[in-house]
Chain A
Amino acid sequence: MSVFPTGVIPTLKFGCATDKGLRRVLNEDSMLALDSLVAVADGMGGHEAGEVASSLCLKVVAEGYARTGGEFTAQSMDQLLTEADQAIIEAGSARAGTTLTGAAVVSSASTAQWLVFNIGDSRTYRLSGGVLEQISIDHSEVQELLDRGELTTAEAATYPKRNVVTRALGMRADSRPDFWMLPIDSTDRLLVCSDGLSSELGDEQIQEILRRFLDPQQAADELVLCALAHGGRDNVSVIVADVASTEIDEPLDVEITVPREQLEIKIEE
């Protein structure tokens, strides 16, 4: 556990996996993974419109991010999202939209922080100390009902209109992003995913997989595979991002395996 000292901006080591799922004709999800920015956009609108919306959104974000040259803040992200919203409206006549969630590494209050952003029902999670927590909060009808106590978690899983989002980019709808700032720990692992993952796998399953598979690419593959095995009803896109180790690749294994014979009665050979 260590917080990054002043001036050190860690980069990310990530794995990405996506699949259109077993039911959908198109994959309308798009993913963006840069050294210090990861994002998933889940397009909607049918035909190819959703695909266009999600990829256009990430293109605007990626280009804008590059322009800022490291001086990235919540304000600049907010500005970029307004641009992206406008760009999608123009391209898709407000018939195509997209969700967006993800995280950027930013420097704030002289420490490295996660800037997590969200519009819609894709999700950003953090695995910290082996425990998974959902950082982003869905903009969905289900979430609103949950917040108001009108649905229980169990009911939410089968609520008929759980495909309804309340915010999105590019649809002349509510497109205000939510932001979170969290100090980065060197052991943090982020998961950014479309709802095709979170609607198939529970948090517990996701946590197990993230904990077991140390390689971010393998973890991402495993998550998509499990979502498909559970039905794969929607496009599934997953980015797993670790804070790149500043030390040597294989950390020194200080604790060596203790021969069991020293601990207990010798087992018959």
Chain B
Amino acid sequence: MNTLRYLPGDWYALVSANHVVVLPPDTAADTVKSLWDAMDGTEDLETLLSALLGTVGMKITAMPDFAMVSRAKAPHVMVRGAVQFNYTDERGSHQISASGIATWTEQRCSETSAWSLDSGAVQAEAAAGPVLHITEGMVLASKLSFGSEQTAAAGKISAEAQKVIDEAVEDARGRRAADAASEAEPEETQLAVKPAGKRAAEPKKQETAAAAAPATSAAPKASATPAQEPSAPAVQKKAVSSETPTAPAPDAKKPEAAAPAANELATVAMKRTSANLEPNADSARQQQGSKKVPAAAADDADTMDPEAEESSGISEEVSLASILLGKRDDPSTQYQTEEPDNADTIIKARASKVSVLPENEEVDNEDTVYSTSLRSRASAPAQPAAEPEMSTISSHQMILARVCSGGHPNPPESTSCRTCHVKLSGQATRVRQPSMGRMFVTEQSSGPGSTHLLTRSVIIGRQPVYKGPAGASEPKLMKVLSPNNDISRSHVQVKIDGWHVELVDLGATNGTVLLREGQSPRRLGTKEAVLLLSGDVADLGDGVTLSFKDLP
């Protein structure tokens, strides 16, 4: 998995598919947003560096500390200030820093399997906290790491706290064993207790967090709503919520040190439990009750208003008990979060101005509406990342592909998944045409440009037209601005043919120039077709360029 781990902190960490940028806490929101925008569709660090320089009026002295890393096998790294980049290659461990340098340090690393980026501001409590994961998005972090360097990157949990957790788990296990006979799901229980109980070395702690944290790391918020949330990224908020005060020490006898560590586990678990899974929470609660685990609020739980329950510590306590007792949520629900994105729309409960009902009934009614929507939410859990088979987007093309266990389609001849790198086996099947990559369109005369997924062929021009058979193979028509009329009405086509993406000249008056790294610019002949590669840029003239990324 192309995932980074991070420790919560106060530095901005901007993670896109290709780059990681770290900026200090006092960075202006505008700067963060500019960088974030620049990261969308950028191929190289130079562009990001210019974007950053742009925000400070090209004054190097005004630049904040930063680190920029390309997420390539051999990362390209730029750091300024106190940030440190550590990586490991065949020859050992290396460090890149800019200490004593007035500008910044730049280096292209050799191939590395593991690296980490340290803001120099790792806080003690964060270091002891859960290690969270991020694939893409913006979070507040103190340290980011990639690859197998688990121990070094991980938060360190104090030996004391660790011991306490172990004890708590043992304790819970013992209690469990006592009435195990009636336990409905012994296997699941075993599984859940294991990571904590068997912990021999620190990395185990991470795994616990990692296993329990997908709700956070996969949090769609982080990857999906870019830019607008530098001050309060959703992921971070959740991580921080481990400080919720209701720390229920699993057992009254436990020393205080138990609280923070155990509470973290609980918080991580809460993310799953409270992921609008009322049924699970209920069963956990019942189980808890029947076992007389001294988690305080269990008895009150039934009378709690559902809204209050979500925000109070009760879910945490319940989940803590669940973890210790081994009650796990249904794995199929683990990608759900409690973000309102997943919540159904509800009508605000308040006095209606046009209601035909008397006051008192009105209130009652609104209550009903409110809780109804909550109940329905619980009883109809959304499926994680299901194929949108009900789609009514017009006419999808089908394509032959080998699909990996993660559901990513790949060219039929490939042996490993281009997305998650797992080995592919089995027959190729027909699937809906996936996106064949991205095309980034820029125009001289308009905004920052935009990215389009290549799911269908596209004809690009000043006033594009298509004359051919209608249907699934009908290309999209994309208009670009050409103030000097340099660009023909139908200038060039980006043609998707099976797993190939081609650039086809459509007899454009002024032609198209293909820019490819390591080659001199080449003008396409009339009606010529060229196979496109990732990183290619097509210059249509009049300031319009198409850059291609993530092609197969």
Q: A153 contacts the other chain (Cβ, under 8 Å)?
A: yes
Q: A209 contacts the other chain (Cβ, under 8 Å)?
A: yes
Would you call A158 and B234 a contact (CB within 8 A)?
yes
Would you call B476 and A163 a contact (CB within 8 A)?
no
Q: Which of B70-78, B98-106, B209-217, B361-369 contacts A (4 or more CB under 8 A)?
A: B361-369
- Segment 1-30 of A: residues with Cβ below 8 Å from B: 16-27
Q: A157 contacts the other chain (Cβ, under 8 Å)?
A: yes
Given A173-B352, A225-B393, A257-B486, A45–B477 Cβ distance below 8 Å?
A: no
Would you call A20 and B455 a contact (CB within 8 A)?
no
Given A47-B376, A165-B348, A208–B450 Cβ distance below 8 Å?
A: yes
Would you call B231 and A154 a contact (CB within 8 A)?
yes
Measured CB to CB, the residues of A under 8 A from B are: 16-27, 42, 44-47, 49-50, 94-95, 97, 99, 121, 141, 153-155, 157-158, 160-168, 171-176, 195, 199-200, 202, 204-205, 208-209, 211-215, 217-218, 221-222, 224-226, 228-234, 250, 253, 255-260, 263, 267, 269
Q: Taking CB as reference atom, which chain A residue is nearest B489?
A: A253
Interface size on B, residues (CB 8 A): 83
A200 to B390, CA, bound (A): 19
Given A23-B342, A23-B383, A231-B223, A141–B348 Cβ distance below 8 Å?
A: yes
Instruction: Give the 5 A-B CB pairs with smallest separation, nearest first.
Output: A46-B376, A231-B224, A233-B341, A208-B450, A157-B228
CB distance from B371 to the nearest CB of A (A): 10
Would you call A231 and B393 a contact (CB within 8 A)?
no
A213 to B464, CA, bound (A): 9
Chain B positions within 8 Å of A211 at CB level: 479
CB distance from B488 to the nearest CB of A (A): 5
**Cross-chain contact of A258 among B227, B453, B486 (Cβ < 8 A):** B486
A18 to B365, CA, bound (A): 32
Would you call B342 and A165 a contact (CB within 8 A)?
no
Would you call B390 and A195 a contact (CB within 8 A)?
no
Given A172-B355, A208-B450, A259-B509, A214–B479 Cβ distance below 8 Å?
A: yes
Would you call A213 and B477 a contact (CB within 8 A)?
yes
Q: Taking CB as reference atom, which chain B residue is nearest A31?
A: B392
Chain B positions within 8 Å of A23 at CB level: 341-342, 382-385
Would you call A25 and B380 a contact (CB within 8 A)?
yes
Would you call B352 and A172 a contact (CB within 8 A)?
yes
Chain B positions within 8 Å of A162 at CB level: 340
Chain B positions within 8 Å of A174 at CB level: 352-354
Q: Taking CB as reference atom, which chain A residue is nearest B491?
A: A257
Can you name 29 A-B residue pairings with CB atoms under 8 Å?
A17-B393, A18-B392, A25-B383, A44-B344, A46-B344, A94-B368, A94-B369, A153-B228, A158-B229, A158-B233, A163-B340, A164-B346, A164-B347, A172-B357, A202-B228, A211-B479, A214-B464, A217-B394, A218-B477, A222-B476, A229-B453, A231-B221, A231-B224, A233-B342, A256-B485, A257-B485, A257-B486, A257-B488, A258-B486
- Segment 465-494 of B: residues with Cβ below 8 Å from A: 465, 476-480, 484-489
Given A46-B377, A213-B478, A155–B485 Cβ distance below 8 Å?
A: no
A106 to B25, CA, bound (A): 53
A90 to B255, CA, bound (A): 59
Q: Taking CB as reference atom, which chain A residue is nearest B355?
A: A172
Would you call B344 and A253 a contact (CB within 8 A)?
no
Would you call A158 and B221 a contact (CB within 8 A)?
yes
Q: Taking CB as reference atom, which chain B residue is nearest A221?
A: B393
Chain A positions within 8 Å of B485 at CB level: 255-258
Chain A positions within 8 Å of B382 at CB level: 23-25
Chain A contact residues: over half helix, strand or loop, or mixed? loop
CB distance from B543 to the nearest CB of A (A): 13
Would you call A257 and B489 a contact (CB within 8 A)?
yes
- Segment 491-509 of B: residues with Cβ below 8 Å from A: 508-509
Q: A199-B341, A225-B453, A228-B388 are in contact. List 18 more A-B contacts (CB 8 A).
A: A23-B342, A42-B345, A46-B372, A94-B368, A95-B369, A97-B347, A157-B225, A158-B221, A163-B341, A172-B352, A172-B362, A173-B347, A173-B355, A176-B354, A212-B441, A231-B223, A257-B489, A260-B510
Chain B positions within 8 Å of A205 at CB level: 450
Q: B182 contacts the other chain (Cβ, under 8 Å)?
A: no
Would you call A155 and B232 a contact (CB within 8 A)?
yes
Chain A positions within 8 Å of B290 at CB level: none
Would you call A154 and B342 a contact (CB within 8 A)?
no
Would you call B345 and A195 a contact (CB within 8 A)?
yes
Q: B350 contacts the other chain (Cβ, under 8 Å)?
A: yes
Q: B463 contacts the other chain (Cβ, under 8 Å)?
A: yes
Chain A positions within 8 Å of B365 at CB level: 94, 172
Measured CB to CB, the residues of B under 8 A from A are: 29, 220-221, 223-225, 227-234, 237, 339-348, 350, 352-357, 362, 365-366, 368-369, 372-373, 375-377, 379-380, 382-386, 388, 390-394, 435, 441, 447-448, 450, 452-453, 455, 462-465, 476-480, 484-489, 508-510, 523, 541
Would you call B376 and A224 a contact (CB within 8 A)?
no
CB distance from A63 to the nearest CB of B (A): 23
Chain A positions within 8 Å of B464 at CB level: 214
CB distance from B133 to the nearest CB of A (A): 17
Would you call A17 and B340 a contact (CB within 8 A)?
no
Would you call B228 and A95 a contact (CB within 8 A)?
no
Which of A42, A211, A250, A263 counts the most chain B CB atoms within 10 A? A211
CB distance from B500 to the nearest CB of A (A): 21
Would you call B341 and A168 a contact (CB within 8 A)?
no
Q: Taking CB as reference atom, which chain A residue is nearest B227?
A: A202
Chain A positions within 8 Å of B232 at CB level: 155, 158
Would you call A165 and B486 a contact (CB within 8 A)?
no
CB distance from B256 to the nearest CB of A (A): 31
A85 to B375, CA, bound (A): 23
CB distance from A17 to the nearest CB of B (A): 5
Given A121-B345, A154-B228, A257-B485, A47–B380 Cβ distance below 8 Å?
A: yes
Chain A positions within 8 Å of B353 at CB level: 174, 176
CB distance from A130 to the nearest CB of B (A): 8
CB distance from A248 to the nearest CB of B (A): 13
Which of B353, B488, B541 counts the most chain A CB atoms within 10 A? B353
Q: Taking CB as reference atom, which chain B residue is nearest A217?
A: B394
A218 to B452, CA, bound (A): 12
Would you call A260 and B453 a contact (CB within 8 A)?
no
Chain A positions within 8 Å of B510 at CB level: 257, 259-260
A221 to B472, CA, bound (A): 13
Would you call B479 and A44 a contact (CB within 8 A)?
no
CB distance from A198 to the nearest CB of B (A): 11
Would you call B486 and A225 a contact (CB within 8 A)?
no
